[in-house]
Amino acid sequence: MNKIKTVARPQITGCGECRSVGNQSCERIQ
Amino acid sequence: MVHVFHYQDHYYIFDTGSSSLHECDEKGALLMREKLGEAVDTSCVTPEERAEYEADFAELEKQGLLFKEEVKVWPPKSNEVKALCLHICHDCNLRCRYCFADEGAYHAKREFMSLETAKKAIDFLIENSGDRKVLETDFFGGEPLMNFDVVKQTVYYAKEQAAKRGKKFLFTLTTNGLLLRDDVADFLNEEMENVVLSIDGRKEVHDAVRKTANGKGSFDLVIENLKNFVKIRGDKHYYVRGTFTSKNLDFSKDVLFLADNGFDSISMEPVVTDIPDLWITKEMIPEICAEYDRLCDAYLKREAEGKGFNFFHFNVDLDGGPCLSKRVSACGAGNEYFSVLPNGDIYPCHQFAGDKEFRMGSVFEGKLDEALRNKFKNSCLFTRKKCDGCFAKFICSGGCSANNYHFNGDIDEPYEITCRMMRKRIENGMHILAVRKAEEEKR
């Protein structure tokens, strides 16, 4: 990779533990 | 899908399917746009450079970080209720010009929620929460502190009932700060998981729209109360929430004013109103986007100087973030989240409150209008067809159902003005991520 730098590459569905989207984090994953 | 954008002289490629963000230079961005079918002039790119970019694109695609197919996961159809917004008081001690709640009364009579109704609402939430362990209740208005005793008694009752069932409540309260006396502040600090403090920024901006019942500006009446509360709040959650209108499209100055006054967790939202001299029109969008850029520059400058603050809409978590199911179902209004009015009537959320077409039942009836609930339950990102071609869809989740309905008459029809602001804020949030990463690598 010479020309392009990856800034973010993301590594459970629907457990419902998270708070009542873009800035939220999954509490279970944390 | 792939989205190419730039922030000043920084060029980015965002892959929606993998939620990966890549930084390149102007030539890389040009070649990617060409790859996406745009007619662009790439004569500035040498054959050797083109080969290098193409090799990088191929490598990213091989790693699943570019042109990754989007996964469609429909949200599970749960009947569990998770959160209630209690309209503890349909009255207010301010007369804000833009208030969607009709200065607290929601186009009906001014009314306080009784403790009996509040208890029934808590019972309704617990009874309908299934296996959920953590439940949420927001105290909202009007101005909820005008009915402070019922707030207190409701908190005590909810905690007592939750303990019997092995559950836990998280409480939030939104206030304009007028009644934030020391004893009230101590209670909120102790019991509230989050507190939302309403203030619009500079005194002249705030006073022009947030007036008392006798028509005077309220800034001087609230500012010290809010500052004192933030002092005792320490590391616990709070944020100040401002509203900008067509009168202060230079709202970055208001955000920075709030930061200068000791508020380090800030949200500044575009007004939602039908008042012609305050509303946001599509002609204003370029100016608003330029203002978000000015705010982004100042935000990063202050962060570099060790004087950073948290701005709600520039936070984008690409590395973690919630699961796909959450991303496509968003706030859950009308299905897992409801508003309860002072008389016990249930609505999909606070922004639908009082619109009889959306009355879903009552806490005294204990059941919901299932047809209306299904309308919200079946609505998700994939039923909002306009979102199909938008790079922001898994971050924005398809917009606000209430906004969509009030502007377009359909909860599944996103409101374009809100969309354009959201896309801009997300691009700026991604740029901030890239700058932070570059700073980390330098250290």
Mean pLDDT of chain B: 92
What pLDDT score was predicted for residue B167?
93
Q: Which of B275, B82, B101, B252 is nearest to B174 (CA)?
A: B101
Rounded Cα distance between B404 and B396, Å, is 13
- Kindly report, residue by residue over B240-250, the tens digit of the pLDDT: 989 999 999 99
A27 touching chain B per CB within 8 A:
no
Mean pLDDT calculated for residue range B131-152 = 92
State how far residue A30 is from chain B, nearest Cα, in angstroms: 8
Closest chain B residue to the Cα of A14, Cα to Cα: B325
Cβ-Cβ contacts under 8 Å, B66 against chain A:
none
In angstroms, how far apart are the furthest CA atoms of chain B? 76
- Kindly report, residue by residue over B158-174, the tens digit of the pLDDT: 999 999 989 989 998 99
Q: Which of B19, B25, B17, B8 is nearest to B316 (CA)?
A: B19
What pLDDT score was predicted for residue B272?
85
Evaluate if residue B203 carries a pLDDT over 90: yes
Cβ pair B321:A17 closer than 8 A: no
**CB hemisphere CA count around B320 (13 angstroms):** 10
* Crossing angle of the two packed helices B182-191 and B148-164, in degrees rounded to 10: 20
What pLDDT score was predicted for residue B41?
94
Evaluate if residue A23 carries a pLDDT over 60: no
> With 0-12 CB in 10 A as exposed, 13-18 as middle and 19+ as buried, what is B8?
exposed
Given pLDDT bands bounded at 50, 70 and 90, which one contains residue B331? confident
What pLDDT score was predicted for residue B75?
76
What pLDDT score was predicted for residue B313?
84
Mean pLDDT calculated for residue range B109-126 = 93
For the ranges B98-107, B269-278, B287-296, B346-355, which has the lowest average pLDDT?
A: B98-107
What pLDDT score was predicted for residue B217?
97
Percent of chain B with pLDDT over 70: 98
- Kindly report, residue by residue over B38-96, the tens digit of the pLDDT: 999 999 999 989 999 989 999 999 899 999 888 877 777 678 898 999 999 999 999 89
Evaluate if residue A22 carries a pLDDT over 70: no
What pLDDT score was predicted for residue A28?
58
Cβ-Cβ contacts under 8 Å, A19 against chain B:
136, 170
Evaluate if residue A3 carries a pLDDT over 80: yes
- What tokens does B246 get? 């067509």
State how far residue B45 is from chain A, nearest Cα, in angstroms: 13
- Kindly report, residue by residue over B363-400, the tens digit of the pLDDT: 998 889 989 999 898 899 999 988 989 999 988 889 89
Beta bridge partners of B381: none
Given pLDDT bands bounded at 50, 70 and 90, which one contains residue B443? low
Given pLDDT bands bounded at 50, 70 and 90, which one contains residue A12? low
Mean pLDDT calculated for residue range B275-296 = 94
Q: Which run of H or of E encompasses B170?
A: strand B168-175
Closest chain A residue to the Cα of B49, Cα to Cα: A3
Closest chain A residue to the Cα of B434, Cα to Cα: A7
Cβ pair B73:A13 closer than 8 A: yes
Rounded Cα distance between A28 and B213, Å, is 46
**CB-based contacts of B253, cutoff 8 Å, min separation 6:** B201, B202
What pLDDT score was predicted for residue B68?
87
Q: Which of B236, B237, B245 is nearest to B205 (CA)?
A: B245
State how far residue B15 is from chain A, nearest Cα, in angstroms: 10
Given pLDDT bands bounded at 50, 70 and 90, which one contains residue A24? low
